[in-house]
Structure 1
Amino acid sequence: MHVTHLSLADFRSYARVEVPLGPGVTAFVGPNGQGKTNLVEAVGYLATLGSHRVSSDAPLVRKGAERAIVRASVVQGERQQLVELELNPGRANRARINRSSQVRPRDVLGILRTVLFAPEDLALVKGDPGERRRFLDELITARSPRMAGVRSDYDRVLKQRNTLLKTAALARRHGGRQLDLSTLDVWDQHLARVGAELLAQRLDLIAALQPLADKAYEQLAPGGGPVGLEYRGSLGELPAGAAAGGASREELYGLLSEALGQARRSEIERGVTLVGPHRDDLLLNLGELPAKGYASHGESWSYALALRLASYDLLRSEGNEPVLVLDDVFAELDARRRERLAELVAPGEQVLVTAAVDEDVPGQLAGARFAVSGGTAEKVRP
């Protein structure tokens, strides 16, 4: 899989730019603040419908513009597709595939898959649980695009349930009439059903990712492991075999339903849902200790990179090798980690790199070069 052409209109700093691409390594080089990351961010957005830098679409639209367009031609084997997204902050985004009639934005998921390395990845190890949940859920969706709908359904149900709980909590605190909470049983069923699917997918993913992450960490930091991935859920202890992806959806549904029932009194008091995948975490262990709080800066970087490399290996093993994106990563690494990472990613079908200066791009990643400056990207080396 690779992108053959990227076209942007009113995206970030670009009024308009056309970037021809091809297999192998392409590096975007230029001073900070000139738009290098904006280019690879656009590629990542087409793959995930989200940015690795911001949580909303508004910052992605160039100042003074009403909308932004991101368009790319993507090759998968013998098949070529043109995918286009129109970003409309405050309104529904639009999507097209092969210039056909409008489709839902999430229908483009799966046409392009990416694995992105960025300085923000350090938050996978050192950041809040939400960073690790997002990592799991984006990878789940990359493996199975239909999970975008499951995630959307879960968020919708959770929002509705929280609204009901908050209303009940406020009424109770202010001595109002007792609300009819019979509809809460219905929302419990919906939350448990969709949550069980999401939880099952996460557990299956972690089981598949564990050996690949351990291997990748050993490649980046020989003798420094092993690494361990452990799912910490709000349900307490999971059934035997669940951590290895062995629990059925019905088992997880039953556990979630039971946990919601037990937590109801506390939830009504606090006005928020206390049980479910939105409260869970992925614990990252290094040797016998948790990486968060114990791993050094270099070890944390190696761990974050190992998770991305494991993601790449997993997606590649399941077909359609993803595009690798390395956004200003090499400047953050010491010489040894820089060389090891370059060696591991160099064979990728398509590798996109950003760097402030040519010297930050390792020799193993020789290939096409674009000079990026002032909203332009000019090819300087084939």
Structure 2
Amino acid sequence: MRLSQLILHNFRSYADTDLTLHPGPNVLLGFNGVGKTNIAEAVGYLASHSSHRVSHDAPLIRHGEAQAIIRAQAHRGSREAFLEVEINPGKTNRARINRGSPVRATEALGILRTVLFAPEDLEVVKGSPTVRRRLFDSLAVQLHPSLGQIGQDYGKVLRQRNALLKSIRHQGFTPTHESTLDVWDTQLAQVGGRLLRARLDVIAALRPHLSQAYEDLSHSVRTARMRYLSSLTGHDEDSEERAAAHSSHPETDISALENASAEQLMQQILEGLQSVRKKERERGITLIGPHRDDIHFSLDATPVKGYASHGETWSYALSLRLASYRVMIDDDPQPGAEPILILDDVFAELDARRRRRLADLTTGAEQVIVTAAVDDDVPESLLSNAYRVTSVDQISHTTRTEAEQVDHE
């Protein structure tokens, strides 16, 4: 899978730009702040309809504009498609496929697949549960595009239910509230069961590839592991101590859920909501559901968060992305269907050995997009096709020799 053309209109710092891309590596070189990452972000957004840098769309629009548009000529084996996504903050995003009539943006999900590595990946390991949930949900949507709508529906129901609980907390509980909560419970359980099943499937698919990727990248004798922590089995994201204690008993986590069907998970969520209803009325928030869950990462039995070294943490984060790449290939092994790899300013964070290992592990990908501020950070094997990004108005093809001359000036 690859792009041959990328067109940006009012996306981030770009008013209008038209970039030609080639099979194999495409390296964007330039100082920080000139717009390299914006290009990588646009390609990732075209595939997942989400950004690796922000959680909502408003920052993606060029200052003073109301809308941004990303267009691209995509190739998947012998098939081609011209994609267009309109980003409309506060409104429904729209898409066009092969210059057809506008449709809901979610209908274009699945045509393009990407795996994006970025410095923000450290937050997947070190940051909040929200960041981890977003990673797994994004991968699930790329594998099964219909889940994009499921995630949106879950968010809408959750907001409505939380608004009702807050109203109850401040105004008091009435019999009418009871029946209304029953309705929201059913809706939350219906979409929540499907979302939870999708996450568990992603975990199961990633697990063997994660351990192999970590071994390949770090040459460590320790095994990278992960498991799901669910509010259905007692996980409470508001209590780090409880979460840490809970993580020492893996048999109470994913093993209790991984064999359940979506319908069975729906029933468990519904029962869980009913069991904590009094507590929810007191606190004014929904305490059971996928939005309260987390993923626990470890090396052997040792948690990565708070215990792993900087190098181990980086290797783990990169291994998650490499595992995602392998899962997508397993999902569609047809020639030309492998996802585009995006390496956004990653090499600057790695030592020389890890740089070489990462470059070697990406060899053979149909298309790789790399951004870097320092030319020497990029392994030479990836510099066959490079661009010098001087500003949003000036992107020019360069050569290895020219890149070295710039570094010495």
TM-score by length of 1: 0.95
**Do 2:233 and 2:253's aligned partners in 1 also have CA atoms closer than 8 Å?**
no
**Do 2:24 and 2:367's aligned partners in 1 also have CA atoms closer than 8 Å?**
yes
Corresponding residue for residue 192 of structure 1: 189
Paired residue total: 379
Alignment of 1:125-204 (within 5 A): 125-172=125-172, 179-204=176-201
Corresponding residue for residue 76 of structure 1: 76
Match of 2:296 among 277, 283, 290: 283
Q: 1:244 to 1:29 in 2, by over 3 A?
A: farther
**Do 2:227 and 2:253's aligned partners in 1 also have CA atoms closer than 8 Å?**
no
State the Cα distance separating 1:134 from its structure 2 match. 0.5
Match of 1:364 among 381, 385, 392: 381
Corresponding residue for residue 348 of structure 1: 365
The 10-residue stretch of structure 1 (308-317 or 251-260) with the greater mean CA deviation from structure 2:
251-260
Corresponding residue for residue 272 of structure 1: 285
Give the secondary structure class of the aligned counterpart of 2:288.
coil
Match of 1:377 among 395, 399, 403: 395
Aligned mates of 1:74, 1:196 — CA distance in 2? 34
Match of 2:229 among 229, 232, 235: 232
Q: 1:67 to 1:254 in 2, by over 3 A?
A: closer
**Do 1:218 and 1:226's aligned partners in 2 also have CA atoms closer than 8 Å?**
yes
Q: 1:194 to 1:88 in 2, by over 3 A?
A: closer
State the Cα distance separating 1:341 from its structure 2 match. 0.6
Match of 1:259 among 251, 254, 272: 272
State the Cα distance separating 1:264 from its structure 2 match. 0.3
| Counterpart residue identity of residue 397, structure 2 | K
State the Cα distance separating 1:179 from its structure 2 match. 4.9
Q: 1:333 to 1:167 in 2, by over 3 A?
A: same
User: 1:240-296: CA deviations, max 9, x gaps?
Assistant: 974683211222122111111100000011111000000000000112111111001
User: 1:205-230: CA deviations, max 9, x gaps?
Assistant: 11111110000000111124211111
Corresponding residue for residue 29 of structure 1: 29
User: 1:143-193: CA deviations, max 9, x gaps?
Assistant: 100100111111111111111111111112xxx866532111111111111
Corresponding residue for residue 248 of structure 1: 261
Corresponding residue for residue 99 of structure 1: 99
| Counterpart residue identity of residue 369, structure 1 | A
Give the secondary structure class of the aligned counterpart of 1:354.
strand
Corresponding residue for residue 311 of structure 1: 324
State the Cα distance separating 1:58 from its structure 2 match. 2.0
Q: 1:331 to 1:116 in 2, by over 3 A?
A: same
**Do 1:5 and 1:72's aligned partners in 2 also have CA atoms closer than 8 Å?**
yes
Give the secondary structure class of the aligned counterpart of 2:149.
helix
State the Cα distance separating 1:88 from its structure 2 match. 2.4
Q: 1:244 to 1:323 in 2, by over 3 A?
A: farther
User: 1:95-141: CA deviations, max 9, x gaps?
Assistant: 21111101101111111110000000001110011111011100000
Corresponding residue for residue 48 of structure 1: 48
Aligned mates of 1:252, 1:64 — CA distance in 2? 45
Q: 1:239 to 1:297 in 2, by over 3 A?
A: closer
State the Cα distance separating 1:367 from its structure 2 match. 2.1
**Do 1:233 and 1:279's aligned partners in 2 also have CA atoms closer than 8 Å?**
yes
- The Cα RMSD (Å) is 1.8
Match of 1:300 among 294, 305, 313: 313
Q: 1:169 to 1:154 in 2, by over 3 A?
A: same
Aligned mates of 2:183, 2:175 — CA distance in 1? 18
Give the secondary structure class of the aligned counterpart of 2:4.
strand
Give the secondary structure class of the aligned counterpart of 1:89.
coil
**Do 1:204 and 1:244's aligned partners in 2 also have CA atoms closer than 8 Å?**
no
Give the secondary structure class of the aligned counterpart of 2:276.
helix
**Do 1:171 and 1:179's aligned partners in 2 also have CA atoms closer than 8 Å?**
no
The 10-residue stretch of structure 1 (292-301 or 59-68) with the greater mean CA deviation from structure 2:
59-68
Q: Which runs of 5+ in 1 are unaligned?
A: none
User: 1:37-81: CA deviations, max 9, x gaps?
Assistant: 011111011011111111222221222323221100101111100
Q: 1:241 to 1:231 in 2, by over 3 A?
A: closer
Give the secondary structure class of the aligned counterpart of 2:232.
coil
TM-score by length of 2: 0.89
Q: Which runs of 5+ in 2 are unaligned?
A: 235-250, 401-409
| Counterpart residue identity of residue 11, structure 2 | F
State the Cα distance separating 1:328 from its structure 2 match. 0.3
Aligned mates of 2:132, 2:89 — CA distance in 1? 26
Corresponding residue for residue 321 of structure 1: 338
Aligned mates of 1:153, 1:122 — CA distance in 2? 29
Corresponding residue for residue 9 of structure 2: 9
Aligned mates of 2:88, 2:258 — CA distance in 1? 39
Aligned mates of 1:74, 1:241 — CA distance in 2? 38
**Do 2:230 and 2:253's aligned partners in 1 also have CA atoms closer than 8 Å?**
no
Aligned mates of 2:130, 2:253 — CA distance in 1? 26
